[in-house]
Amino acid sequence: MILATARGPTARDTEARRCLLSAGLLFVSTQCQNARLMAGTLYIVATPIGNLEDITQRALRVLREVDVVACEDTRHTQRLLNHFAIKTKTVSYHEHNERERTEELCRLLESGKNIALVSDAGMPLVSDPGFRVVNAAIERDFPVVAIPGAAAFVTALVVSGMPADQFLFAGFLPSRTNARRAKLETLREIPTTLIFYEAPHRILDTLSDIVALLGDRPVVVARELTKFYEEFLRGTAEQVRLQLAARPSVKGEITLLIGKGAPAVATTSVEEAVHELEEAGIPRMDAIKQVARERGLSKRDVYKQVSG
């Protein structure tokens, strides 16, 4: 089934006309100014991820002009709207009411109302709810228009120093240990930069898992992106883990990037490598296992060298 965007052009023409208009390139008639009132459009609107200046002119206009803003958390979004003196009505949608809300929102679109869909931060749908609403709108042939803007993973990627021409975004890592490890295992052979979101209280465990399962690869931990305490930590997974472990606590949302698995050039002896890990608090047999994996040796060989 090919879903042509039958009603799309109306809304999009209006968008484009406004753009040309704002550039002084189009004379606009009353008729075409009214076009946007004819069909209900679902706008997917990117909002700031930490710095209120990171919002586009079009996002502000759309949030102001639509009939309803559908938010992940109305209190959170209300603060954004208040800051920009936007009075538009809000409704909540989230994981737990998305099914019912989808029907309500589609009825609004059907009746010609325009809706802006936002998440708490960044681009909706990318590790955020909204998928069901957008797909319902597509299936029912309502025009759907994305208003591009901030997304944390892209922001982290371009400052990471890692290749940005190819990457795999894998969203939030599972919170349960076994599920997280299984997920990392499935990504071991992917030959691109890997990007994840991770909670601050799990980052140390996750970095340990990376060392154990993927090897001591280059990683970047990006914290508090675009905020006052924005920070990028770069090094191997183990180096960054040790650096974070030395802190009393780790706070803020984290974007974690893992570099392509290039075999690290060994600058220390096998014995030294095991000793370093032990000093970092890793049990001797785990340290031996890890060094064996990193160096492509058998555990037995490493054990012999350490004990010899």
Is residue 45 within 8 A of residue 118, CB to CB? The reply is: yes
Q: Is 151 in the site for a copy of itself (CB under 8 A)?
A: yes
Q: Is 135 in the site for a copy of itself (CB under 8 A)?
A: yes
Nearest to 199 by CA among 229, 174, 225: 174
* Cβ closest to a copy of itself, residue 112 vs residue 161: 161
Is residue 47 within 8 A of residue 59, CB to CB? The reply is: yes
CB of residue 36 to a copy of itself, shortest distance in Å: 14
Stretch that binds a copy of itself, among 108-116, 233-241, 276-284, 294-302 (CB under 8 A): 233-241
Question: How many residues belong to the chain?
Answer: 308
Q: Is 240 in the site for a copy of itself (CB under 8 A)?
A: yes
Query: Based on C-alpha coordinates, what's the Rg of the chain?
Result: 24
113-132 residues near a copy of itself, rule: CB under 8 A: 123-127, 130-131
**Whole-angstrom distance, CA of residue 165 vs CA of residue 27:** 40
Q: Which of 32, 91, 146, 212 is the binder for a copy of itself (CB under 8 A)?
A: 146
DSSP state, residue 37: G
CB of residue 291 to a copy of itself, shortest distance in Å: 20
Structure tokens at 284: 């001797």
CB of residue 175 to a copy of itself, shortest distance in Å: 15
Q: Is 12 in the site for a copy of itself (CB under 8 A)?
A: yes
Phi, psi dihedrals of residue 134, rounded to the nearest 5°: -65, -45
Stretch that binds a copy of itself, among 30-38, 86-94, 232-240, 286-294 (CB under 8 A): 232-240
